[in-house]
Homo-oligomer: A and B are copies of this chain.
Amino acid sequence: MKNKIQVQPVMDALEIIGGKWKFPILYSLCGGKKRFKDLLEDIGKITPKMLSSELKSLECNGLVSRKAIATVPVTVEYELTEYGETLEPLLRHIQAWGINHRKKIIDSIK
């Protein structure tokens, strides 16, 4: 049983931050406050509808905060909360692994 329990926290974490888009959104916010259109541009392949629903989920789980700024028209900024920032080391690990993986693939083609 001991080992089985150790996998469950991984699945618990993925319930909150798993899926195709949450890691890229969170990683983009590691770079500081972002507006909706900045996030769309950073991530590229995500639809506005999907980005909006993923941001709501991240907000609901206390990882991202949303602030409306009284410009005309209103602008909305998203930011990692303090709790969201606890993910930064993990996100940087994934990014570094991704860079290394791409290099490994390119080297293997040469």
Chain A interface (Cβ < 8 Å from any Cβ of B): 3-4, 6-14, 16-20, 23-24, 27-28, 31, 41-45, 83, 86-87, 89-91, 93-102, 104
By the criterion CB–CB under 8 Å, are B97 and A87 in contact? yes
Given known pairs A13-B95, A101-B12, the reply for A41 and B90 (CB within 8 Å) is no
A26 to chain B, nearest CB (A): 9
The smallest beta-carbon distance between A91 and chain B, in angstroms, is 7
- Please measure, in the bound complex, the distance between the C-alpha atom of A39 and the C-alpha atom of B24, giving whole angstroms: 28
Q: Is the interface of A mostly helix, strand, loop or mixed?
A: helix
What are the residues of chain B within 8 A of A14 when measuring CB–CB?
20, 23-24, 94, 98
Number of copies: 2
**CB-nearest residue of chain B relative to A93?**
B90
Interchain CB contact under 8 A, B13 and A101: yes
19 further interface pairs, Cβ-Cβ under 8 Å (given A6-B28, A89-B93, A90-B90): A4-B41, A6-B95, A7-B28, A7-B43, A9-B102, A10-B94, A10-B95, A11-B43, A12-B98, A12-B101, A13-B95, A17-B97, A18-B18, A18-B20, A18-B23, A83-B104, A86-B97, A86-B100, A93-B93
